[in-house]
Amino acid sequence: MYAGQVVEQAPTAALFARPLHPYTEGLLASVPRLDGPPAREHGRLHGIPGQVPAATAWPEGCRFHPRCPYAWDRCRAEAPPLLDAGAWRARHPHGALLAPHRPEASHATPVTPALVDVQGLVKHFPGERGWLGLGRPRAVVRAVDGVSFAIAPGQTLGLVGESGCGKSTVGRTILRLIEPDAGRVTIDGQDVVALGASALRALRRRMQIVFQDPYGSLNPRMTVRQMLAEPLAIHRLASGAYAERRIAALLEEVGLDPGFAQSYAHELSGGQRQRVGIARALSVEPQFLVLDEPVSALDVSVQAQVLNLLADLQQRRRLTYLFIAHDLAVVKHIADHVAVMYLGKIVERASAPALYARPRHPYTTSLLSAVPVPIPRRSASASC
Ligand SMILES: Nc1ncnc2c1ncn2[C@@H]1O[C@H](COP(=O)(O)OP(=O)(O)OP(=O)(O)O)[C@@H](O)[C@H]1O
Ligand code: SF4
Ligand SMILES: [Mg+2]
């Protein structure tokens, strides 16, 4: 369905194997796939450009024409009829497939010293008593239990695992949003755990976090301009007319019109909110970003746009990412290395191509086999 109309209807397997409508093709091409090449080989996801139009202003002619790669004059003037071929119906006069976008494969990056080095990180949460503090205290939660990894500058480590295995606690503890119980974290050679309050504030400029829920992480009472001006003022990076120019440039860099500066969070779509969250993290010119499930709340086409944006920003600004996710296909698309976490520990760590080609730990194998592939017959046989 697109812009209030069913644009294609077909038997499930046929629709996934050979979509007829360009919107269906775009949706399928937006999904990072375990059986597809990683981002390092084909660069970007082939998403759908632009945004869904407002329900109050459907475009004339074919409602999909402003975003359709096949649109021609007639599409702008005439609404296409719903062609009916029995089980297959599509609101589109032809069914050519999109050409795959495959620029040259990039070469392997040389080995460089780590920007982020984490050794033996531990965070346990004390067991709490039941309701109203009654009953016996529950067992201690060993959320992070001796985690170690390193990330080279400009690289992405994907941290994957099931819900509750401790991924977010790792990300927050590295940034000292939560105090670790033990372990060592260095960022560009600086020992994060040993820093006092003022030195930590200065280091915070260099390490930022983007959260999963783009709505909950934005202040509903602030305009976008105020949200972006705040970190600039706290870190004394810009004020007055210079701050306004920085804010406009940040919005443009994340693909938003500077006019959005006057908007509040509730006036933005999920993808736009996540772009504001990324702009806010970038405002202080960080080197290292913890991306805590940054696309899991977004639909697949917006997810592809945000993943492409993150890949572009990384290349342009040479950012280093810890990309936390439970979706192994998304991680395969964006990560150079992958660490698999289970019950507070990392059970396997490898370069992304090696981990996906030859998983060594049984838990990694079971995680990989649980990932759906957008070809119905193949997913069905994979789960047998
Ligand atoms: N502040 C806290 N107090 C007590 N327990 C906590 C706290 N924060 C997290 N936990 C517990 O620590 C464990 C790990 O939580 P964490 O949020 O790191 O998991 P996660 O892997 O990020 O999960 P998800 O994929 O659902 O986001 C969970 O059992 C959680 O309930
Ligand atoms: S009718 Fe035209 S604009 Fe609409 S989907 Fe088909 S080619 Fe694209
Ligand atoms: Mg989490």
Q: Which of 21-30, 255-264, 336-345 has the lowest mean pLDDT?
A: 21-30
- Quick one: pLDDT at residue 22? 81
pLDDT in tens, 278-319: 999 999 999 999 999 998 888 888 888 889 999 999 999 999
CB distance 68 to ligand 2 below 6 Å: yes
The pTM of this model reads 0.77
Domain segments of the chain as ranges: 8-90, 153-180+191-375
Residue 344 pLDDT: 93
The mean pLDDT of 199-204, rounded to a whole number, is 88
Residue 157 clears pLDDT 70, i.e. is over it: yes
pLDDT at 119 over 60: yes
- How many C-beta atoms lie closer than 10 Å to residue 175's C-beta? 19
- CA 163 to centroid of ligand 1, rounded, Å: 8
Token look-up 């093709």 returns: 25
Which residues are close to ligand 3, an ion, with C-beta < 5 A?
Answer: 168
Q: Which of 191, 334, 218 is nearest to 276 (CA)?
A: 218
Measured between alpha carbons, how far is 283 from 226 in angstroms, rounded to an integer? 12
Angle, CA of 321, 174 and 172, to the nearest 5°: 90
Q: What is the pLDDT of residue 233?
A: 94
Does the structure show a pLDDT above 90 at 40?
A: no
Give mean pLDDT, residues 240-254: 94
Cα separation, 4 vs 58, in Å, equals 9
Beta strands 207-210 and 88-90 are unpaired
Residue located nearest, by CA, to atom 1 of ligand 1:
125
Mean pLDDT of 247-252: 94
Mean pLDDT of 31-41: 66
Specify the residue with its C-alpha closest to ligand 1, atom 25.
163
| Domain spanning 153-180+191-375, CATH architecture | 3-Layer(aba) Sandwich (3.40)
Q: Report the distance separating Cα 329 and Cα 371, nearest Å.
A: 7
Which residues line the pocket of ligand 1, CB cutoff 6 A? 125, 141, 143, 161, 163-169, 326
CB of 273 sitting under 6 A from ligand 2: no
Query: Taking a C-beta distance cutoff of 8 angstroms, is the pair 274, 310 a contact?
Result: no
Pairing status of strand 141-151 against strand 116-125: antiparallel
Report the distance separating Cα 175 and Cα 178, nearest Å: 8
Ligand 2 centre and the CA of 272: distance in Å? 26
Q: Closest ligand 2 atom, CA of 74?
A: 2
Residues sharing a CB contact under 8 Å with residue 125, sequence separation 6 or more, in sequence order: 140, 141, 143
